Amino acid sequence: MVKLSVNGKFVNGLRGSERKRGYICLEAEGAEIHFRNIRILELPDGVTSPEQIAPLVN
């Protein structure tokens, strides 16, 4: 499950995603925005299969 929290409060989430490991994109909708205190939790080994990992971009 992917969880999005803003100021410590859950605002959105996603279940059943086929991708479990890959890239993260942060965006704003039409205005300047600043990000801080971003935390990313890496899944332990064995949780993802090769099909669930985003391909590398050269």
pLDDT at 3: 77
Q: Is the pTM of this model over 0.75?
A: no
Q: What is the distance between the alpha carbons of residues 20 and 1, in angstroms, rounded to a whole number? A: 9
pLDDT higher than 80, residue 55 = no
Structure tokens, 30: 């039409």
The larger pLDDT score, comparing residue 23 to residue 36, is at 36
pLDDT bracket for residue 2 (50, 70, 90): confident
Residue with tokens 């890239």: 23
pLDDT bracket for residue 20 (50, 70, 90): low
